[in-house]
């Protein structure tokens, strides 16, 4: 895969950073179909090159974005995750791609997101008509998701913390931060209580990605609780929807929650359940299996009209049967 180009795009007056990946010009003629891709809960775009590589190799222009207040994007306070604002970041990334008609076919733009990014792309596709195809990988589904991660005692403590933080923000204009994750049963509040797999993933990310920090604002948790991407998936159709998710041990992307969102969606749609655990789709071989399903879905739907047009043009060059023997 060729080196990415660092670009910036405006999202509601905030400069967002993104990495632009272009397919090999010797193999693929521009303009090309494009895919905007987004990261998971509190992560940054530097986690996305392995995913982008599969799409670029298949001939797609790829734009990997940092949501506002995360990574290299601007916005204050830092690491404030308001899901509806991240939806706007996806939509504005699409607007930026539309300005690059030298590279991108604006009628062939899809979106892909992983984990919390998967929930974001489901909501984005429900409200943004320019999106032609959507792929959600192991989607985390807002309130339903975050409530399931907290036991009753942790949930009550979280409600207390959120109320205290709201009062503090009103009095001082500033709120508190909370760790992204902490081990269940330790008594340490976190936005995403987890197990060894989840905690280990966050610790490794902090070591490997300089722009990643393993905390978010407490107000972010409040906004995640108010977010319901699983309730709007019926608005995606008739745009094609693919969900690729884990079928093995995974407390962070429960299959029963994913099925609720999937069942609500209209056709065309497809659900692929893979035999991997919580982090199994973030590295090979699971990553490759999941991305090959994504590429096949984008190929089937973003390239379908293009192929039909090529076939029609080829047919037009062939004389009707009644004239071939004349």
The mean of the pLDDT values for the chain is 92
Distance CA(181)–CA(173), nearest Å, equals: 25
Instruction: Indicate the Cα dihedral angle 289, 291, 292, 297, nearest 10°.
Output: 130
Among 214, 264, 288, CA closest to 58? 288
* Number of Cβ within a 10 Å radius of residue 135: 31
pLDDT of residue 178: 97
* Segment 134-154 mean pLDDT: 95
The more confident residue out of 319 and 279 is: 279
Residue 187 has what pLDDT?
Answer: 83
In 3-state terms, what secondary structure has residue 135?
strand
Residue 138 has pLDDT above 80, yes or no: yes
Residue 9 CB: number of other CB atoms within 10 A? 21
> Where would I find the H helices in 58-133?
83-98, 116-127
Per the DSSP assignment, residues forming a β-bridge with 18 are: 7, 65
- State the Cα–Cα distance between residues 211 and 221, nearest whole angstrom: 21
The larger pLDDT score, comparing residue 304 to residue 94, is at 94
Domain spans, the chain = 5-142+228-324
Percent of the chain with pLDDT over 90: 84
* Residue 131 pLDDT: 98
Percent of the chain with pLDDT over 70: 93
Q: How confident is the model at residue 319 (pLDDT cuts 50, 70, 90)?
A: low
Q: What is the four-CA torsion angle of 190, 194, 198, 200, rounded to 10 degrees?
A: 80
pLDDT of residue 311: 47
**pLDDT, position 323:** 43
Residue 87's pLDDT is what?
98
Give the confidence band of 322 by pLDDT, cuts at 50, 70, 90.
very low
Top CATH class of 5-142+228-324 equals alpha beta
């Amino acid at each position: 895969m060729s080196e990415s180009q660092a670009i910036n795009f405006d999202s509601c007056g905030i400069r967002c950073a993104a990495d632009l990946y272009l397919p090999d010009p010797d193999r693929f003629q521009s303009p090309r179909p494009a895919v905007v891709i987004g990261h998971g809960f509190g992560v940054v775009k530097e986690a996305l090159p392995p995913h982008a590589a599969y799409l670029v190799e298949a001939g797609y222009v790829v734009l990997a974005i940092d949501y506002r207040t995360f990574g290299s994007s601007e916005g204050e306070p830092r690491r404030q995750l308001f899901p509806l604002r991240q939806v706007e970041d996806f939509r504005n990334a699409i607007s930026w791609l539309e300005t690059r008609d030298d590279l991108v076919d604006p009628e062939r733009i899809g979106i892909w997101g992983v984990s919390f990014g998967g929930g974001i792309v489901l909501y984005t596709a429900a409200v943004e008509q320019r999106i032609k195809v959507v792929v959600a990988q192991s989607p985390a589904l807002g309130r339903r998701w975050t409530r399931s991660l907290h036991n009753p005692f942790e949930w009550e403590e979280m409600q207390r913390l959120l109320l205290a933080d709201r009062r503090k923000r009103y009095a001082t204009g500033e709120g508190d931060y909370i760790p992204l994750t902490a081990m269940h049963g330790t008594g340490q509040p976190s936005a995403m209580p987890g197990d060894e797999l989840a905690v280990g993933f966050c610790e490794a990310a902090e070591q490997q990605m300089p722009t990643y920090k393993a905390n978010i604002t407490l107000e972010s948790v409040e906004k995640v609780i108010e977010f319901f991407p699983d309730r709007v998936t019926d608005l995606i159709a008739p745009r094609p929807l693919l969900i690729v998710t884990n079928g093995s041990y995974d407390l962070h992307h429960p299959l029963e929650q994913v099925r609720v969102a999937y069942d609500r969606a209209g056709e065309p749609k497809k659900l692929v359940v893979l035999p991997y655990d919580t982090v199994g789709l973030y590295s090979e071989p699971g990553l490759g299996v999941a991305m090959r399903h994504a590429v096949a879905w984008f190929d089937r739907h973003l390239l379908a009209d293009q192929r039909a047009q090529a076939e029609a043009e080829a047919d037009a060059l062939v004389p009707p049967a009644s004239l071939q023997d004349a």
